[in-house]
Structure 1
């Protein structure tokens, strides 16, 4: 018996109510459309409910604020990497700029982008299951598990891992469908699938290059089974490979060409390629990497626990469920490569694990549910999936409720932004020395430096920029920004020479205008005398 949910099964004619007098029954086409829209709409509602707390605090992750600053400046004509520097490709700022152009610069705008991204990923997981012709309840379960677990590990912020996940997931869906049709129908993939997959992975690479591992796996799924079954000649395979490679590179090439036309290709190459290599060159020790990975496994404990019944001596060795299992395992391995590639092991990197992990967790829940006696398989499956889903959501929600930031309690970032606005005119240049860069947007302030991310100028990652940070800080202070923001809680992370330079400038030319208290310590807003 399949753990298929009755709401996702085909309607039973005997139970279908007759239309009321005077009403016309929907056409078969309309019924198909309604059935097709049911799961995406359900997942959209679930995404809104599970990610509701993402719309409360001003800051969840500092990277997100940097993308907002880049997007705002881009909309004002100052392109990313030139107007605001970073060590990532410009795909994320491009998405931020698009949605901010439509809806404005409020905090909820990029959070809505994250909600849409997680919804599309969850829908993509459902599509993977359906393309494998596995029970639709598995796809719904995988989608719900993903939505809940994406609220952990900093996933409430709209970070790169949230943005490229739907692109990779739908690429995997195309690859799996091609693999199934090759095995079952002796059908080679049409050229249009190569185009679609290449553009999807190309856009993912323009957001973060670590998606290259999953892009390679998607390609293998697309052409591997047809090649094994002798459905494609090697000339066609090589032609597809060339087209796929070009399409994967196309978004980045087009962006590079745009920078070339502006005479700013050097900035594009440095920020997109050279700086990430510098960053990866400072890898943390394997002991720390192992410790951080163990912490993540413990955070995702129940999802990992469901891997055991999914993988240990599986009963089903052939068919849709077996195909899903092997694809999910290969995907998890590729995702691990993406997690490891930067060498830093921040928690939000592990969000890349979630799509294949949630597929495997759904398969594990199915296996456990089959242990129940007849008539209880579906309730057992729903209880397992619902319990793990709610536990993940609870784990992310309790800290939000306890901290009460924006929920009746103060939001220090918003208070700092308000204090800055009281001291400056709109557009005046300020310097956020070691606090959240989103303040430039929230305070409607100009930038005293293109290096808006504190860790890349005054902190430990200064080497990625390729500049002398001491010279840049001296230039900033000599320009006399209208206000300087200093977070004393993070002050020990500021390099000593730069800290001394800032202290001297504050003592000589600035007055302390306001102090806002953070959990770590006071945040000071200094006003130019």
Structure 2
């Protein structure tokens, strides 16, 4: 099987798996925030200053690019499709080092299927940064084997990935150590030291560039708080079902993890063993274990699994398990995208009509932030991601008192408030404030997809 055929099959598989979800504005709440930030960047808003989130700037630049061409949701999901297909292609190429063509192709398909099962149907951040980490891992393996000198390029890819999600630091450190271990054996220590500095510099370069831009603009403190301090200030949510969520992820991962372990036993690849270990450690150290947090694990799992996917019986096992889990997950999600688009359009039209009656900005509370974009509303706060002002884990981590911020917003008498209902947050101070204001001054006008719209009555 030619390389071109493998890439074509993987592209077609990516299209088949992801096409039903392209343009779905409700597929994931995180994506809604990314695209909202990207949209407001075109209007001159500066992330961390005018509109706040703690994600690195690279993710917002991707979202801004999607807002610059065509319909943002469609463009964003097409970019995610391209990233997923390209990642699968690199996995297949990497796997050819220790597997035949059939096993390598199956490894790429394994990745595409299981990211759809773990929250990667749309454009969650790992869908994009996995592409960079896959390229970095391949370059590291090639450099270790002496086939090319790609260490600096690999670490630069890691650095770019860090500007999409900082958790790639675990794999990045492992890649650097793997490169240095080889150089240490082959070269005198001064050369190894220079290499270490070069690798570190390449990995840090994109972050240094981002920080420098903010410092030059006079917003270095805002950049530091959002990208560093706020991450460390987050706390676990009391009563959060972390263990149950983690168990669910482990169940979904049983097949790829089992195949990866079998592949590592069959072909004792030292670099792959270390990569799997680094990815697992990184996952374990970053609760609360939402399903998409496990997406980076699928990269080394798929590459390692290729060694046993050469066997037809193992390919059938993976295919049957993947098909069963896809069907259980609701694939192909017929009508879901259309229903979501209609729901958002209906709510947005009602919001626009209500805002024409009274000036002011929509206020979204525990509801989809896509409503800000869809209704073309101004933002009542620099913290438009609804859960930053509600969740207990965020109370001391966003740089302001959420209760005071919500009280300030309510004092402006927003003409429309879009409200959801999450049971665990009903006793949160900000939610209580909102409910009191709704009871005193607002009336409910419509409800759709778990969102109630209230208009100012007096």
Mapped contact 1:50–1:151 kept (Cα < 8 A): yes
Residue 242 of structure 1 pairs with residue 187 of structure 2: no
SS of the counterpart of 2:286?
A: coil
Q: How many angstroms does 1:310 deviate by? A: 2.7
Structure 2 CA distance for aligned equivalents of residues 226 and 363 of structure 1: 28
Distance 1:214 1:410, change over 3 A: closer
Structure 2 CA distance for aligned equivalents of residues 406 and 365 of structure 1: 34
Cα deviation code 1:51-88 (max 9, x no counterpart): 12322632122111111111111111101112221122
Task: Provide the TM-score with structure 2 as the length reference.
Answer: 0.90
Q: How many angstroms does 1:92 deviate by? A: 0.9
Residue 64 of structure 1 pairs with residue 39 of structure 2: no
Distance 1:408 1:102, change over 3 A: closer
Q: How many angstroms does 1:248 deviate by? A: 1.1
Structure 2 CA distance for aligned equivalents of residues 141 and 337 of structure 1: 26
Aligned counterpart in structure 2 of residue 103 of structure 1, from 61, 64, 70: 70
Structure 2 CA distance for aligned equivalents of residues 135 and 254 of structure 1: 42
Mapped contact 2:80–2:127 kept (Cα < 8 A): yes
Q: How many angstroms does 1:512 deviate by? A: 2.8
SS of the counterpart of 1:343?
A: coil
Aligned counterpart in structure 2 of residue 126 of structure 1, from 92, 115, 130: 92
Q: Which is worse superposed, 500-509 or 146-155? A: 500-509
Cα deviation code 1:429-468 (max 9, x no counterpart): 2110121112111222111011111221122222211311
State the partner residue of 1:431.
363
Structure 2 CA distance for aligned equivalents of residues 124 and 527 of structure 1: 54
Cα deviation code 1:266-315 (max 9, x no counterpart): 21111100011112x53889x96544332212123322343454355x3x
Distance 1:364 1:411, change over 3 A: farther
Q: How many angstroms does 1:47 deviate by? A: 0.7
Structure 2 CA distance for aligned equivalents of residues 409 and 100 of structure 1: 19
Distance 1:134 1:178, change over 3 A: farther
State the partner residue of 2:58.
91
State the partner residue of 1:481.
414
Structure 1 CA distance for aligned equivalents of residues 141 and 27 of structure 2: 35
Distance 1:176 1:492, change over 3 A: closer
State the partner residue of 1:349.
293
Mapped contact 1:420–1:525 kept (Cα < 8 A): no
State the partner residue of 1:197.
154
What does residue range 249-288 of structure 1 map to in structure 2 within 5 Å? 249-279=204-234, 281-282=235-236
Aligned counterpart in structure 2 of residue 214 of structure 1, from 171, 179, 194: 171
Q: How many angstroms does 1:409 deviate by? A: 8.3
Task: Provide the TM-score with structure 1 as the length reference.
Answer: 0.79
Aligned counterpart in structure 1 of residue 250 of structure 2, from 294, 297, 304: 297
SS of the counterpart of 1:45?
A: helix
Q: How many angstroms does 1:236 deviate by? A: 1.7
What does residue range 375-524 of structure 1 map to in structure 2 within 5 Å? 379-380=312-313, 382-398=315-331, 400-401=333-334, 404-406=335-337, 412-424=343-355, 429-460=361-392, 461-487=394-420, 489-490=421-422, 493-518=425-450, 523-524=452-453
SS of the counterpart of 1:282?
A: coil
The CA RMSD over aligned residues, in Å, is: 2.7
SS of the counterpart of 1:300?
A: helix
What does residue range 50-199 of structure 1 map to in structure 2 within 5 Å? 50-55=17-22, 57-105=24-72, 107-130=73-96, 132=97, 134-181=99-146, 190=149, 193-199=150-156
Structure 1 CA distance for aligned equivalents of residues 324 and 297 of structure 2: 18
| Residue correspondences, number | 456
Mapped contact 1:71–1:94 kept (Cα < 8 A): yes
Q: How many angstroms does 1:196 deviate by? A: 1.2
Residue 224 of structure 1 pairs with residue 181 of structure 2: yes
Distance 1:45 1:526, change over 3 A: same
Q: How many angstroms does 1:339 deviate by? A: 1.4
Cα deviation code 1:449-488 (max 9, x no counterpart): 111112211222222113111211121112232321111x
Distance 1:168 1:350, change over 3 A: same
Aligned counterpart in structure 2 of residue 45 of structure 1, from 12, 15, 19: 12
Larger Rg computed on CA atoms: 1
Mapped contact 1:88–1:276 kept (Cα < 8 A): no
State the partner residue of 1:526.
455
Cα deviation code 1:136-168 (max 9, x no counterpart): 333211111000101012111311222211111
SS of the counterpart of 1:472?
A: helix
Distance 1:477 1:112, change over 3 A: same
Structure 1 CA distance for aligned equivalents of residues 127 and 238 of structure 2: 24
SS of the counterpart of 1:78?
A: coil
Q: How many angstroms does 1:242 deviate by? A: 0.8
SS of the counterpart of 1:445?
A: coil
Mapped contact 2:37–2:51 kept (Cα < 8 A): yes
Distance 1:479 1:363, change over 3 A: same
Distance 1:491 1:413, change over 3 A: farther
Cα deviation code 1:90-142 (max 9, x no counterpart): 2211111122213343x222222221221121112122123x36423332111
Structure 1 CA distance for aligned equivalents of residues 181 and 238 of structure 2: 36
In structure 2, list runs of 5 or more residues that go unmatched. none
Residue 329 of structure 1 pairs with residue 286 of structure 2: no
SS of the counterpart of 1:150?
A: helix
In structure 1, list runs of 5 or more residues that go unmatched. 1-7, 9-34, 182-186, 315-320, 370-378
Mapped contact 1:429–1:448 kept (Cα < 8 A): yes
Cα deviation code 1:165-201 (max 9, x no counterpart): 11111100001111222xxxxx7x53xx233112201
